[in-house]
Structure 1
Amino acid sequence: MTRKSPYTRTHSPFASSIENVSRRRFMQWSALAAAAGFLNFPVEAAASVPGKVAAVPLQSVRLKPSLFLDSLLVNQRYLFELEPDRLLHNFLQYAGLPPKAAVYGGWEGDTIAGHTLGHYLSALAKLYAQTGDAQARQRIDYIVAELARAQAQDKDGYVGGFTRKNGKGVIEGGKTVFEEVRRGIIKGSAFNLNGSWSPLYTEHKLFAGLLDAHELAGNRQALEVLERVAAYFAGVFDTLNHEQMQTLLDSEFGGLNESYIELGARTGNPRWIEIGKRLRHEEIIDPAIAGKDDLPHRHANTQIPKFIGEARRFEVAGDPDAAAAARFFWETVVARHSYVIGGNADREYFQQPDTISSFLTEQTCEHCNSYNMLKLTRHLYQWTPQARYFDYYERTLHNHTMAAQHADTGMFAYMMPMIAGGERGFSDKFDSFWCCVGTGMEAHAQFGDSIYWHDERSLYVNLYISSTLDWQERGIALQLDSGIPDNGKLRLQIDRAADNAPRGLLLRVPAWSGGRFALHVNGREQDAKVEDGYLPLVRAWKAGDVVEIEFDMPLRLEHAAGDESTIAVMRGPLALAADLGPVSEPYDQPDPALVADASPLAGFTALPQPGRFLAAAARPRPLTFVPFFSQYDRRSALYFKRMDPQQWAQEIARREKANADQAALQTSAVDMIQFGNEASEKAHKLASDTSFGGAYRRRECRDVRGKGFVEFEMKGSDRPLALRLRFWGSDKGRFNILVDGKLAVEVKVERGNVIDFVDREYALPHALTRGAKTLKIRIEPQHGDTAGPLFGGWLIPA
């Protein structure tokens, strides 16, 4: 039987004692942030106080027909195609029980196996709360019962699906990792701990799934299973001193801190809260408390859940430092590290602030990042309910979340390319199971969770998603019909309003409307005043009352943070992108631009289909602009350089010169290898170990890591020779170049400030190349470092 918790999501017993401390800290930080030039809200919006508002329970909301309901139904179909027994395979096998079905492929076939089951539990729980689907509840109950059966085999209460590869290369159960940690053996890196791929991250997904199964599907057994496994890991952590714990936290641990604190809030057991407090990564959190952006070159999604945990720590334990850290992180990421779709990071890492225009690549915007940023947004909104939080939330939901799920197949994208002509790579049903597949399952099962919010007196409408609300606790039922994102028209009808129904109705005025709207209540035009981003309507509501609003949806330009010459086109909440053709056709053209003496928007003409425009200002030819999210099987351009006609002429000349320089290099080279290109590598008899081919900024490449190598043959020459290698300017690494097995050059590449491809030449000792018709060149990292990515190699006269 779960004990009633003294902590809840809407009230902290510490709130009154911390409010003044929180306000002082927040005001100090706000002044610093404002001076830095990126604080976007009034300093007067002061103290963070948990529980000022709360979301209406998801169970009270049902979606009406819209692109969001379509998405949820496609996701529901996929969730029911998956087989729980296949996701449970490792949990049973490593508990000594016979699995009932084969394990899935992809990441589920690696040492991170088991993470998907936790996501799957959360997705089913959210789907059940959102729809009441009985099959979702049945699957939850079955999975939890099977986990309990596996757990019963372990005297310590451990249950998990991840594995590890031991020193002999044998795959074994993941518990061995933490029995080593218990003995003080902590050998790891950012994504590896004692031979297992992010095991704490993986276990966190199970924690989160069990918490959701308990809260949203009413499964009491889930909490019983969770408390036993939480006790096991807490026992491991108890053996570690502070320094050892911080070393452990250098490896990715997801939001395990949040889960422990939530478990404490749920059960009233302070032990879990204390464990959650210990899972605080000081190297990351402390700079944020001090107002320092220490994010560049850190893995983005490793950090975001740490701050969600800090937010929950503030709400439950009343720590104002935790609130300061979470708020500073959110402000910094949204204002200085985010793309126009709300996503962040390139190649999964934060770059320098205000430089996103230099990182428009095919490896931007991991979907997990945005999913977790929306979770963090919900927390901050609860403390200071400002409309701007949902301006960000709405933007990200429409432009990244909706883009990350293929509308027809229901499959999920890992990255969301910001490069012109990029292609979204979608998952396979049963052989991918990336992290972003798991978060995708969750993201597309819960669209009703943030539409309606409330305080003691008022109901807030923050997202304009067609839906019904039947909130029996407060005696109100209504219907919301939304034309957004196609148009700005909204209709809200009250179906029931009891005496205890909220009298205040606060409708968010989206920033994209410019504050321009027409409002009618029961057919009569109203002259309402916007307050703090909301239209406040206060009256004794009754059944049949109708509120109608039409927001302006003008086209507008937004520039990339730190670069006013790089722009995107927006309409309402949507980012618009130029359609560059189907993904079935390769794209190798230079980036298009928007060229005009004045605003390029003057040349945009609306097309018959809503939200589509023909842009005469696009160069080198006019282009059709469409909603970015809808380009599932199309290539598109989202960001453009804004130029006047003279600048465009200069750009054409620059491109012609670059082409001529490349042609001259090809002509003068004795030989050339295109790394990452199958035909070129085969022609040069390339062999490698621990190296990976790929593409970055539409150029093929290969990188080499750790103790790996890449070796290939090139034509020789009697002349002295140099090897020219092409890198990305901000990458770094250390490696050796060998010729016919003998060391030729030791290379140290420092991270530079050049945001472009750079060529570097390395003279080869003539004694190693003289008279050879064929040279065998080998590149191998030094001391476990990296070589590359390498984008091309040319053997040229020295």
Structure 2
Amino acid sequence: MFGAAVLAVTAQTGIARAAAAGAFAPKGVKPLPLASVRLRPSDYATAVEVNRKYLHRLSPDRLLHNFRKYAGLEPKAPIYGGWESDTIAGHTLGHYLTALVLTWQQTGDVEMRRRADYIVDELAEAQAKRGTGYVGALGRKRKDGTVVDGEEIFGEVMKGEIKSGGFDLNGSWSPLYTVHKLFAGLLDVHGGWGNKKALSVVEGLGGYFERVFAALTPAQTQEVLGCEYGGLNESYAEMHQRTGNPRWLKMAETLYDTRVLDPLSNREDKLANFHANTQVPKLIGLARIYDITGDEKRRTAATFFWERVTGHHSFVIGGNADREYFFTPDTVADHITEQTCEHCNTYNMLKLTRHLYGWQPDGALFDYYERAHLNHVMSAQDPATGGFTYMTPLMTGSERGYSTVDDDAFWCCVGSGMEVHAKHGESIFWEDDAGGLIVNLYIPADVTWAKRNAALTLETNYPFAPESTLTFTKVKAGRFPVALRVPGWAAGKAVVTVNGQPAQPVFERGYAVVDRRWKAGDTVSITLPLELRIESAPGDANTIAVLSGPMVLAADLGPKDVKWEQADPALVGADLLAAFSPADAAKGIFNTRGVVRPADLQFVPFYRQYNRRSATYFKRFSESAWAAEEKAFLAEQARLKDIAARSVDVMFLGEMQPERDHNLTSEISYPVTYRGRQGRDVRSGGFVEFTLKTKDGPLILQATYWGGERKRGFDILVDNVKVATQTLDNDKPGKFFDVEYPLAEALTKGKKSVQVRIVPHDRSTAGPIFGVRLFTAKTGAAI
């Protein structure tokens, strides 16, 4: 949770604050152009440069492979691996186009522009060869397993032959999501420097899919939109803005998923169990449609969604979701796993935040933006390699997994990663229609400001040092306000000076506003107290994180190459922060003394733990509560030792060698990893079967499950005899639990082994099951 300052940003309070605004009531705010900003040395500038080199290493012709192949043209280079060799092929090229445009704007690298223009030419050739308006690289897997040009699914869809799951449409993986990425990339090239061919290609695509949806009934449209479609509604709205053609606005409004968006329009949070990143782009699209139509329902949906996600579904680093899905509001403490915080989610939440800020400027919006940008986005790139994370795990001892430039990645977060690290200068400086300047992020940079014929320099080592100074190296002298954001955690404590002398700014709407006549050589500085503070996870006051200013701190648990196999550290005591002391303030490093159990640890910036293991959330205990916790821990260890001593055989599902040792066979079943434990799930129509050793006498079959699963049912059979029907339905939120199934002695008598088979009910799934064990019953226990 991000505190009262952020939670207060609702449609109602935003309107109230606007009405009450006096000295600071900006209208028509927009960021200064990215091309006018040049970053000074910092971790942000490093990220841009590392990403620029990464973009240079990628081959446009390899990304274009399927576009040419499926158009009947000879590919010029082999295809990449990973997702680019799957049916979602082509999504990376759209991201790459956008990243090229942004990098050209942020750095002036002319090769970026040359490559983007080259790709557009290639796409135009492939589109012309097809002759339908369609151009794409996505594939389609037929029933016989062969992969072909994915365009054929759209002919089936137009005939009403629709088989749609959350991520599969007629055998293609999220095809409209992939199409949206190409739309967005082409629109960015057109917007970047007026490449008319890019607009022509995207309009051809737009017409093609207009025909697809025109063939559908409203019910069929909703069926198709049940499969992830990215922000295709936003792209159509943008096409309308670029061309003035009402066809494209009609299409933007057609792409409306009623199941998800209607509740949000009515201010109802029904996000739990929805795939998170599937939804965020839809709301960005609704925000864009509101800009054009003024439909208040669209604005309400976008603002309410932002409020709920940032205030009730997000982790301390600003990311959201567990295993890619939203969970029940205010249950963050139950979802601190190695599957938290998909990067694409935060990439899109930052886009939505910027959009909402354009409607109603409020510093609290950028409190969230800064937190997520610093702690999540900056942790998702490895500056040593340029690789990107998919998830940013918050479970104690987890390691981050970064992509490589080789053929093993190109997942969605590689695409959003190459975009977001191309544009770290885009949200620092803003202007309003009246000619005021707003500083929203304290990132060292030089900027030219056309409206005031000004050149400015922002010097800072924030968040490692408290002071930031803005210098007017050039300006057309005149009176106007300069607004410096004061984060919610610094309210009432910020100090502002002008030309080194104390100033008396107006503090309003999350800003310190200095309104005066400015001239060349003037400076304005703000000092923000970087005090340590504790934040609780939404829903659990005793699951806490430690921050310094906007920066999340983590306990350093050592290099990733050394597996963390100890108990999670806890914080114990009445005054925890008093036990922290700076070890290297310039690097944000702190020592602890006497409050970490079982031993003191050093706390460091979370985002910089690229290849190290961390603890970010901690259970907080009083001394007496910790003593009781130790007793409970020891009791659980004794229970596990007793079961281990009575075990006949143990099956570690999801692990290669144990599955081979137990002769596992399966269909439509997949290994999973969750909260540090391996397991396996089975999808509808599939099964998993394996052998367990046995012995005579009363035996108990035990299976381990996660307590927060959505509703599902399945059968467990032993040697083809059903021994149990198991239903999972959020039985024990926040923890793993064991279920015991006593076996009739006749099932195992005289046998050396038995076959265990797990079968999901129709249209359901089984598990995931995190291990199966067969052990003897205690003497005298009833079976």
Structure 1 length as normaliser, TM-score?
0.93
CA distance in 2 between counterparts of 1:653 and 1:87 reads 57
Contact 1:728 1:757 in 2 (8 A): yes
Contact 1:517 1:551 in 2 (8 A): yes
Hey, what does 1:112 align to over in structure 2? 88
Hey, what does 1:320 align to over in structure 2? 296
Q: Does 1:689 align with 2:658?
A: no
Q: Does 1:480 align with 2:449?
A: no
Contact 1:720 1:766 in 2 (8 A): yes
Taking structure 1 as reference, are residues 502 and 178 closer, same or farther at Cα in structure 2, changes over 3 Å only?
A: farther
Contact 1:745 1:764 in 2 (8 A): no
CA distance in 2 between counterparts of 1:519 and 1:432 reads 47
Deviates more, 1:455-464 or 1:516-525: 516-525
Measured after TM superposition, the shift of residue 682 of structure 1 is 3.2
User: 1:500-522 CA deviation, whole Å, 9 max, x = no partner?
Assistant: x7722111112232331332211
Q: Does 1:676 align with 2:654?
A: yes
Taking structure 1 as reference, are residues 502 and 303 closer, same or farther at Cα in structure 2, changes over 3 Å only?
A: farther
Hey, what does 1:584 align to over in structure 2? 561
Which SS does the other structure have where 1:607 is aligned? strand
Measured after TM superposition, the shift of residue 244 of structure 1 is 1.3
CA distance in 1 between counterparts of 2:292 and 2:565 reads 53
Cα RMSD (Å) of the superposition?
A: 1.9
Hey, what does 1:564 align to over in structure 2? 541
User: 1:280-301 CA deviation, whole Å, 9 max, x = no partner?
Assistant: 1111111111111000011000
The one of 442, 445, 459 equivalent to 1:464 is: 442
Contact 1:720 1:764 in 2 (8 A): yes
Hey, what does 1:790 align to over in structure 2? 769
The one of 134, 138, 141 equivalent to 1:162 is: 138
Contact 1:107 1:113 in 2 (8 A): yes
Contact 1:666 1:672 in 2 (8 A): no
Hey, what does 1:383 align to over in structure 2? 359
Hey, what does 1:263 align to over in structure 2? 239
Hey, what does 2:749 align to over in structure 1? 770
Amino acid in the other structure paired with 2:200: E
User: 1:386-423 CA deviation, whole Å, 9 max, x = no partner?
Assistant: 00000000000000000000121110000011111111
The percent of aligned pairs where both chains have the same amino acid is 49
Amino acid in the other structure paired with 2:93: L
Which SS does the other structure have where 2:506 is aligned? coil
Measured after TM superposition, the shift of residue 169 of structure 1 is 1.8
Measured after TM superposition, the shift of residue 660 of structure 1 is 0.8
Hey, what does 2:23 align to over in structure 1? none
Amino acid in the other structure paired with 1:46: I
Contact 1:514 1:552 in 2 (8 A): no
Contact 2:712 2:764 in 1 (8 A): yes
CA distance in 1 between counterparts of 2:107 and 2:733 reads 51
Hey, what does 1:779 align to over in structure 2? 758
CA distance in 1 between counterparts of 2:10 and 2:296 reads 19
Which SS does the other structure have where 1:540 is aligned? strand
Contact 1:557 1:567 in 2 (8 A): yes
Once the two structures are superposed, the pairs formed by residues 638-787 of structure 1 within 5 Å of their partners are: 638-731=616-709, 732-787=711-766
Measured after TM superposition, the shift of residue 657 of structure 1 is 1.0
Hey, what does 2:403 align to over in structure 1? 427
Taking structure 1 as reference, are residues 406 and 674 closer, same or farther at Cα in structure 2, changes over 3 Å only?
A: same
Amino acid in the other structure paired with 2:149: G
Contact 2:464 2:585 in 1 (8 A): no
Unmatched 5+ residue regions in structure 2? 20-25, 778-782
The one of 141, 146, 164 equivalent to 1:188 is: 164
Structure 2 length as normaliser, TM-score?
0.94
The one of 608, 614, 630 equivalent to 2:608 is: 630
Q: Name the count of aligned residue pairs.
A: 762
Hey, what does 2:48 align to over in structure 1? 72
CA distance in 1 between counterparts of 2:81 and 2:73 reads 20
Measured after TM superposition, the shift of residue 548 of structure 1 is 2.0
Deviates more, 1:788-797 or 1:352-361: 788-797
Hey, what does 1:20 align to over in structure 2? none
Amino acid in the other structure paired with 2:213: F
Amino acid in the other structure paired with 2:754: L
CA distance in 2 between counterparts of 1:754 and 1:283 reads 26
CA distance in 2 between counterparts of 1:527 and 1:540 reads 15
Measured after TM superposition, the shift of residue 39 of structure 1 is 4.3
CA distance in 2 between counterparts of 1:539 and 1:134 reads 39
Contact 1:128 1:217 in 2 (8 A): no
The one of 36, 40, 48 equivalent to 1:60 is: 36
Q: Does 1:503 align with 2:480?
A: yes
Which SS does the other structure have where 1:385 is aligned? coil
Taking structure 1 as reference, are residues 502 and 190 closer, same or farther at Cα in structure 2, changes over 3 Å only?
A: farther
The one of 363, 367, 372 equivalent to 1:396 is: 372
Contact 1:512 1:571 in 2 (8 A): no
Contact 2:94 2:184 in 1 (8 A): yes
Contact 2:664 2:691 in 1 (8 A): yes
Measured after TM superposition, the shift of residue 702 of structure 1 is 1.9
The one of 332, 339, 349 equivalent to 1:356 is: 332
CA distance in 1 between counterparts of 2:773 and 2:479 reads 72
User: 1:59-82 CA deviation, whole Å, 9 max, x = no partner?
Assistant: 111111111000000001111100
User: 1:587-627 CA deviation, whole Å, 9 max, x = no partner?
Assistant: 12221111112x20010011035211112211111110000
Measured after TM superposition, the shift of residue 216 of structure 1 is 1.9
Hey, what does 1:26 align to over in structure 2? none
CA distance in 2 between counterparts of 1:517 and 1:121 reads 41
Which SS does the other structure have where 1:159 is aligned? coil
CA distance in 2 between counterparts of 1:316 and 1:604 reads 52
CA distance in 2 between counterparts of 1:682 and 1:660 reads 30
Measured after TM superposition, the shift of residue 41 of structure 1 is 5.7
Hey, what does 1:17 align to over in structure 2? none
Hey, what does 1:234 align to over in structure 2? 210
Measured after TM superposition, the shift of residue 38 of structure 1 is 5.5
Contact 1:461 1:508 in 2 (8 A): yes
CA distance in 1 between counterparts of 2:255 and 2:492 reads 43
Contact 2:121 2:197 in 1 (8 A): yes
Contact 2:463 2:530 in 1 (8 A): no
Measured after TM superposition, the shift of residue 367 of structure 1 is 0.3
CA distance in 2 between counterparts of 1:44 and 1:743 reads 58
CA distance in 2 between counterparts of 1:295 and 1:318 reads 25
Measured after TM superposition, the shift of residue 473 of structure 1 is 4.2
Contact 2:334 2:733 in 1 (8 A): no
Deviates more, 1:52-61 or 1:707-716: 707-716
Once the two structures are superposed, the pairs formed by residues 42-61 of structure 1 within 5 Å of their partners are: 43-46=12-15, 52-61=28-37
CA distance in 1 between counterparts of 2:242 and 2:603 reads 48
User: 1:760-785 CA deviation, whole Å, 9 max, x = no partner?
Assistant: 12234544322211112222323253
Unmatched 5+ residue regions in structure 1? 1-33
Measured after TM superposition, the shift of residue 472 of structure 1 is 2.5
CA distance in 1 between counterparts of 2:411 and 2:12 reads 41
Measured after TM superposition, the shift of residue 263 of structure 1 is 0.8
Measured after TM superposition, the shift of residue 751 of structure 1 is 3.2
Which SS does the other structure have where 2:584 is aligned? coil
Deviates more, 1:545-554 or 1:71-80: 545-554
Which SS does the other structure have where 1:311 is aligned? helix
Q: Does 1:443 align with 2:420?
A: yes
Hey, what does 1:532 align to over in structure 2? 509
Contact 1:606 1:614 in 2 (8 A): yes
Amino acid in the other structure paired with 1:650: A
Which stretches of structure 1, 4 residues or longer, exceed 6 Å deviation after superposition? Answer: 47-51
Hey, what does 2:780 align to over in structure 1? none
User: 1:428-486 CA deviation, whole Å, 9 max, x = no partner?
Assistant: 21220010000000010011111111112211110111111112244121011111111
Taking structure 1 as reference, are residues 166 and 41 closer, same or farther at Cα in structure 2, changes over 3 Å only?
A: closer
Hey, what does 1:518 align to over in structure 2? 495
Contact 1:711 1:776 in 2 (8 A): yes
